[in-house]
Amino acid sequence: MNLTERSLTFEIFDFLELVDLPLREYEDDPYEWFENEFGEEERYALGEMADSQDPTQYELIWQTHESMRRFFWPLSASTLLSLPHLIKQDIVHGNVVDIGSGMGFAACFMAWKWRDCHVTAVELSTNGRIRAQELAKRARLSNITFVESALQEYPPSHQFDLVTSFLTAHELGSLTKLHDIYGCESNSDEFAHINLEKYHSEYAQFVGDLLKSEGSVFSLERLGSMASQCAWIGGLRNSGVFIDLEHSTFVYPYVDSWGGRERLPVFVGSRQEIDLSMDDFENWYNKHSFGKDVS
């Protein structure tokens, strides 16, 4: 199943319309709009933050509802495309936590679709939290709580039936630091194998510490290389969370500036121990189409 725009369902578009988010990407450049709206100085500051991957850029992007709308598709397309797979897995129930919830789109969608669950959305950005609360109000949600907190200040509790992470892991530090220890080429097969076996991640441990013994993890991350994907899987495994590749896949958001599609993994896991070898991972990795082959 290639998760592109064709995978989106009517209920996803219904939710976008309900909370006043665009049904498709704007044709004009959001950065040009941002400069016209907020001025050259603020546009320059945003560009500097984006280039350095400074997460405080989102305070600028989410400062108004309209600025959030303008940047919604460039920032959230892959999250949007992963939702059909989340629906298919049938794992949203009970207490759910969305960590690094941003402007709250995924968290609010889960609370809207699965009314019997309770969603906790954890996000550091004040403007992200404000925009998320606006979405929840538009959708008339009563089964969602917003927590403005740095992840390291949010206490582990082992209380959640589902932990979701949408495009968060890659912003919390390098997933390839073992490269410096073992001296391997960062994208080599040898390095991928080391990552799968030995990588430890504070964020992966944080994910594991939130999860109930019978809970599930749904993780969409901007991890392009085999080595970085193995690092994330290895970090989760060392925290007691095991990825089930049979239920995992890729999304393929179109990147206009590239003239092609990105390829990002969607991992589904639990505390049920699963043996995973490098051969298993390579077979899974290679059986899915690469961006240039996806229509």
Residue 222 placed within a domain: yes
Residue 171 placed within a domain: yes
Whole-number percent of the chain with pLDDT over 90: 72
Q: Which residue type occupies 219?
A: S
Q: Which residue type occupies 235?
A: G
pLDDT given at position 184: 79
Which DSSP helix (H) or strand (E) runs through 270? strand 264-270
Domain of 242: which CATH number? 3.40.50.150
Q: Read off the pLDDT of each residue in 247-252 and give the average, rounded to a whole number.
A: 96
pLDDT given at position 41: 93
Looking at the 3D structure of the chain, how many domains does it have? 1
Q: Which residue type occupies 21?
A: L
pLDDT given at position 126: 95
pLDDT given at position 271: 95
pLDDT given at position 190: 85
Distance CA 215, CA 51 (A): 37
Q: Quick check: 174 pLDDT over 70?
A: no
Distance CA 235, CA 229 (A): 10
Cα-Cα-Cα-Cα dihedral of 59, 263, 177, 215, to 10°? 80
Helix (H, G, I), strand (E, B) or coil at 191: helix
Range of the domain at 87: 77-293
Residue 72 placed within a domain: no
Distance CA 8, CA 88 (A): 12
Q: Are 25 and 73 in contact (CB under 8 A)?
A: yes
pTM: 0.94
Between 18-27, 97-106, 132-141, 285-294, the lowest mean confidence (pLDDT) is in 285-294
The residues with which 268 forms a beta bridge, in sequence order, are 218
Residue 219 placed within a domain: yes
Residue 48 placed within a domain: no
**pLDDT per position as a tens digit, 102-129:** 999 999 999 999 999 999 999 999 999 9
Looking at every residue in the chain, the average pLDDT score rounds to: 91
Phi/psi for 8 (5° steps) reads -65, 140
Neighbours of 108 (CB within 10 A): 29
Residue 116 placed within a domain: yes
Q: Read off the pLDDT of each residue in 235-260 and give the average, rounded to a whole number.
A: 91
Residue 42 placed within a domain: no
Q: Quick check: 258 pLDDT over 80?
A: no
DSSP letters spanning 20-87: T--SS--SS-HHHHHHHHH-HHHHHHHHHHHHTT-TTHHHHHTSSHHHHHHHHHHHHHHHHHHHHHHH
**pLDDT per position as a tens digit, 135-159:** 999 999 999 999 998 887 887 777 9
Distance CA 263, CA 253 (A): 7
Q: Quick check: 194 pLDDT over 90?
A: no
pLDDT given at position 246: 96
Residue 47 placed within a domain: no
Question: Rounded to the nearest 10 degrees, what angle do helices 65-89 and 105-113 cross at?
Answer: 50
